[in-house]
Structures are given as C-alpha cells and as structure tokens.
Amino acid sequence: MPASPLPPLDPAPVLLALDTATERLHIALSVGAGEAGRTQALELAGGPQASAGLLPALQSLLQAQGLGWPAVHAIAFGAGPGAFTGLRTACSVTQGLALGLGVPVIALDTLMAVAEDARQRSDKPLSAGEVAWVLQDARMGELYVAAFRWGGERWVVQTPPALWPLGEPRARWASRGEGVLVCGNALSACPAAWDGLLPNDIRVLAPDAMPRGAALAELARQAWAHGEQVDAALALPRYVRDKVAQTTAERAAAQA
C-alpha cells in the first residue's frame, strides 16, 4: 500500500533510520520534532534481500513525502548487537549515504530499539525507574541481552549488551519471584531459555517486540535533540561476539 503523504512540517529535522540486525528490515522517515513530528515506517524481508531492498525502500519513503535526498539532515542505523552480516550492511549503507550527502550519522542501540518498541506496544505505561531486559536470539545457543531503565522520557543503559548462554535467564531469575520485565524475540525463538522459570519470575512487556521503524525514529529524534551525532567515518557496528560460526563438530553436538 502506498504511503500517505505527510503534511508539510516546519521546522525539520528530516531523519532516516534503518536496522538490518534481525531477520526483518526496518526503516523509518521522521519529519519534524516534538508533538508536530511525523513518522512513516516500513517493514520488509531481511536476510539476503536486505541489501538489495534497502536503498529503494529508503528512497520510496522520501518520494512518498515529496522529499529528496538533499532534505535529509542525518541518517540513523541500528549498530547492534545482531546478525554479523546485517550489522555490516546497515553500517556500510549508512556511511555511504551520509558521506555522499555530507550529513552526520546517529548510531542506535538495536536492543534499546527493541525496548522502545515494546514500550510503544505495551498496554500498560512504564513508570520512571522501571527496568526492561531485552533478550534477542543470537543463534548458536546464545542470547543477545541488555537492560534499560526507563527515565520517564528516555531509556538509560542499565546493563550494557552482552552474550548469554540459553541457561543464564534461569540461573539468574528462577524462583526469585522478582517479576523481571522482559521483551525481545527470544521469548518465542528460544523456548529453552525459559525452562524452569515460573510465571511470577518474569513479566512480558511485549511478546513480539522488534526494532521497528517507529521505535528507531523515536530514538533517532531523541539522539538528534541531544546532539548525539557522529561523523560518518566514525560510525561502527557493535559486536559482542567474536565467533560468528560453529564448527561441524559443534553443530553436531548442538543437534544431539
């Protein structure tokens, strides 16, 4: 379905945001700021199709709003953690566009974008000070994990992104009755991570949270307002895993 044109807004910024760290491609166009700001988002197939579809999708967002590339003030990208190839795709496309346009880059935390998506989709508003744990499927029997504290207007990093084995949530939270607030695709993709956890051990903020376009756009607007832009040449993916593939023996052992 073609995007409906956004009404003319003044003042800008015009921000593009993208994330290819997961199995889906999420992009967004943000025009304006504050209550007057508007966001147009798209979700497309990721994986091998991400690199081929990314630039046309970004251009379609601009064209649908009657804008061209010169109107863009900055480009935000999900820096990870996430799929190795996906992070490289997002970073390289963002750097190439930013260098060509002469605009800065905003590096976003992909896991924070998942937390923001969960907050936006939750039926119950978060209270200031609440902490959300994001758990994403990292494959190879591991999880990408981070914790963020909601400050009332922005997320604050409570526990930096790390790599956990599947048994770590059980080891930390089982039978403690703390009601840890969780979100992320590991809730459905990694059932083994929740073995031994009781309903009162965890609370699900949003069962299908992803780094969707609306969340990326909101984080990008916040970063822009706080001057958190960097030169395109300094933009880097965030890796928390050095090993990106298993040996044949490790795969066989995991299957067994």
Give the separation between CA 27 and CA 17, rounded to whole angstroms: 5
Give the list of residues 6+ apart from residue 222 with CB closer than 8 angstroms, or none.
153, 154
pLDDT tens digits, 87-141 = 999 999 999 999 999 999 999 999 999 999 999 999 999 999 999 999 999 999 9
Alpha-carbon distance 135 to 147, whole Å? 9
CATH number of 111-206: 3.30.420.40
Provide the whole-model pTM: 0.89
What residues contact 223, with CB distance under 8 A and at least 6 apart? 76, 106, 108, 229
Architecture of the CATH domain 14-109+211-234: 2-Layer Sandwich (3.30)
Other residues' Cβ atoms within 10 Å of the Cβ of residue 158: 13
Question: 7-19 pLDDT, tens per residue?
Answer: 443 456 999 999 9
Identical topology for domains 14-109+211-234 and 111-206: yes
pLDDT digits (tens, 9 = 90+) for 186-210: 999 999 999 989 889 999 999 899 9
Q: What is the pLDDT of residues 10-68, one digit of tens each?
A: 456 999 999 999 989 999 999 987 666 789 999 998 766 667 789 999 999 999 999 99
State the number of CA atoms in the 13 A half-sphere of 214 facing the CB: 10
Strands 24-31 and 14-19: antiparallel
Contact criterion met (CB below 8 Å) for 27 and 57: yes
> HSE of 81 in the Cβ direction (CA atoms, 13 Å)?
22
Q: Where are the domains of the chain?
A: 14-109+211-234, 111-206
The whole-number average pLDDT for the span 152-181 is 93
What tokens appear for 184 in the block? 């992320």
- Strand-by-strand arrangement of the 155-165 sheet: 155-165, 142-150, 131-137, 180-183, 202-206
User: Has residue 253 got a pLDDT over 80?
Assistant: no
**Neighbour-count burial of 92, counting CB atoms closer than 10 A to its CB (0-12 exposed, 13-18 middle, 19+ buried):** middle
DSSP string of the chain, one letter each residue: -PPPPPPP-SS--EEEEEE-SSSEEEEEEEES-GGG-EEEEEEEE-GGGHHHHHHHHHHHHHHHTT--GGG--EEEEE--SS-HHHHHHHHHHHHHHHHHHT--EEEE-HHHHHHHHHHHH-SSPPPTT-EEEEEEE-STTEEEEEEEEE-SSSEEEEEEEEEEETTHHHHHHTT----EEEESTHHHH-GGGGTT--TTTEEEEETT----HHHHHHHHHHHHHTT--B-GGG-------S--S--HHHHHHHH-
